[in-house]
Amino acid sequence: MSITGSTGLELTGGGLQVVVATRNPHKVEELQRILGPLLPGVELVPDDGPEPVEDGDTFEANALIKARAAHERTGLPALADDSGIAVDALDGAPGIHSARYAGTRDAQDNLELLLEHLAGRDDRRARFVCAAAWVDADGEVVARGEWAGTVADAPRGEGGFGYDPIFVPHDGGGRAAAELTAEEKDALSHRRIAFTALAERIRARSASGRGASSRCGAEPLASRASENAIRRPRSVHEVGGSCSARRRRAARAVSLPGTTFAAVPRVP
């Protein structure tokens, strides 16, 4: 069986189950819409295991923590993301603490606290950030996407979730993210940028012989040239290697034209 999507990613051997390390149903729905055409034939399986402690100091570190935990618990390839809003006037806050900014894990509380902290400020520049991680028996891949905009004075719109009602992207026609349709948001968002780049890196890794598989020795994902342009994030990070190398947590730097790669060390 061979299934190929618009990005050229081809699955062989009947498809692939991938566990998604999130308990956020809105995020699962968004990832299904985004990844459907990027990873055709892949079945996304929700992770019902315990949540790991997210004690990383970057979006990338926390995404990897979640993906590693899901992969080690299930043995399946694992996807995870860590995302949030970074506000220039607040030195990048809430940043990695976006989901718990108000201490309650309530989206409305977080949104209201951010507006309170920006009250009276002229500089309202901000960006949504997403780090997307893939972990399997052959290694790890992380991609980062950023969506630039500003913070509105008050919530607008009924769609989206999280900080969407107060985030006005530069490419949104003056509308808040919550005022965009799901299709419009999927085409522009930080998750679209990050997960598109992630799929690109998985294809490139497969082509080099380090295929994405559900276990050591499984048939890898094959790759063919993409017919569509893929938007790259600011940076993409990869750690790869064989099963034994993965256990040794080896990492090496990689460089390809137009993209910067850096080693992301694994913690035993």
Task: List CB contacts of 213: < 8 A, sequence separation 6 or more.
Answer: 77, 136, 137, 138, 219, 220, 221
Residue 36 pLDDT:
83
Q: Which CATH class is domain 2-260?
A: alpha beta
Q: Cα separation of 33 and 180, whole Å?
A: 15
Q: Cα separation of 238 and 156, whole Å?
A: 38
- Of the candidates 203, 265, 260, the one whose C-alpha atom is nearest the C-alpha of residue 230 is 203
123 is an active site residue: no
Task: List CB contacts of 50: < 8 A, sequence separation 6 or more.
Answer: none
Residue 47 pLDDT:
87
Q: Cα separation of 64 and 111, whole Å?
A: 26
SS3 240: strand
Block means of pLDDT (10 residues each) for the chain, 268 residues, are 29 68 81 84 85 95 97 95 97 97 95 97 98 95 98 95 97 97 94 94 77 42 30 38 36 28 36
SS3 60: helix
Residue 239 pLDDT:
41
Task: List CB contacts of 204: < 8 A, sequence separation 6 or more.
Answer: 223, 256
- β-strands 125-136, 139-151: how paired? antiparallel
Residue 124 pLDDT:
98
Residue 168 pLDDT:
98
- Of the candidates 34, 42, 77, 59, the one whose C-alpha atom is nearest the C-alpha of residue 191 is 34
Query: Which of the following is catalytic: 47, 81, 82, 164?
Result: 82
To the question of pTM greater than 0.85 for the whole model, the response is no
Q: Indicate the Cα dihedral angle 9, 31, 96, 74, nearest 10°.
A: -80
Residue 183 pLDDT:
92
CB 186 within 8 A of CB 30: yes
Q: How far apart are the first and last CA of the chain?
A: 37
Q: Cα separation of 227 and 154, whole Å?
A: 41
Query: Beta partners for 20?
Result: 46, 79
CB 128 within 8 A of CB 167: yes
Residue 254 pLDDT:
27
- Of the candidates 174, 129, 121, the one whose C-alpha atom is nearest the C-alpha of residue 148 is 129
